[in-house]
Structure 1
């Protein structure tokens, strides 16, 4: 898939997240079924924070050739993820050593402009990512060394992966 096609998918998926915001009451948005289950708000926080400070940031680092290296390989998980074009259809738990703090949700109204900015920032990268030779890579601790295009693709895969969680959390709140 080209970066243009990846962006088109990302735009469709993020629009689903934006449209859904209008359907949630504040109570539904912040509801936690139990200690181990995120609220919808925490999921939105996870998605937006990881977009801004992880996926897009590492894509840009690769394009600017900083905080990474020339070359490097994906590990077995990374190879499979990219071979199949997405995460497996199962719940994944981030290993404890690389897990960050629990996401803290912002007010529901904050997410629409954040998601729109993520789309705008993603769109602005299409041409540069398309032209990148792919030699410079940044480490993704669970997948190995990824180049700018792979970080860009991973961004879309991540939003797509969380659609299942979104549906699950909506059903808890129904």
Structure 2
């Protein structure tokens, strides 16, 4: 994908999440089908944290050339995700080694602000990445070594992957999306 295509895809994906916040009541946003599954609010918290403290942080590391190396390859997991520009249509368990505590949701209004900020910050970093040669990489724990544009694409792909989870929760809650 070109940088402009990545920016457009990221914008569309983030807008879906921002717009969806108006569909939910506070009770729906906090409801969980069972103790093993996340609420919509927990999913939003996961997405915000992953976008900000993982994907965008690694975009910055690549641009600043720190905590990584020149060169390195993606493994088979990463190659498949990027080849198809999609995660497999399965529920993914975060590896125990990188799993943190259960996400604690904030309010829907807070996520409107946070997601708009992530979109703004992501697009600004994408513009900075336009001049990057793509040689410096940092390591993803599941995909292997990734450069700045791969981290940016990975962020959009990861966010889009959670559309399935969002739809499952909306279906469970009886929310019809027109």
State the TM-score, normalized to the length of structure 2: 0.95
Give the equivalent residue in structure 2 for 1:135: 135
CA drift of 1:32 comes to 0.9
Give the equivalent residue in structure 2 for 1:145: 145
CA distance in 1, matches of 2:60, 2:121: 11
**Cα RMSD (Å) of the superposition?**
0.9
Within a 5 Å distance, the mapping from 1:1-174 to structure 2 comes to 1-174=1-174
CA drift of 1:123 comes to 1.2
Q: Secondary structure at the match of 2:139?
A: strand
CA distance in 2, matches of 1:22, 1:85: 28
State the TM-score, normalized to the length of structure 1: 0.97
After TM superposition, the runs of 4+ consecutive aligned structure 1 residues lying more than 6 A away are none
What 5-or-longer segments of structure 2 have no aligned partner? Answer: none
What 5-or-longer segments of structure 1 have no aligned partner? Answer: none
Contact residue 2 and residue 130 of structure 1 kept, 8 A: no
CA distance in 2, matches of 1:95, 1:167: 24
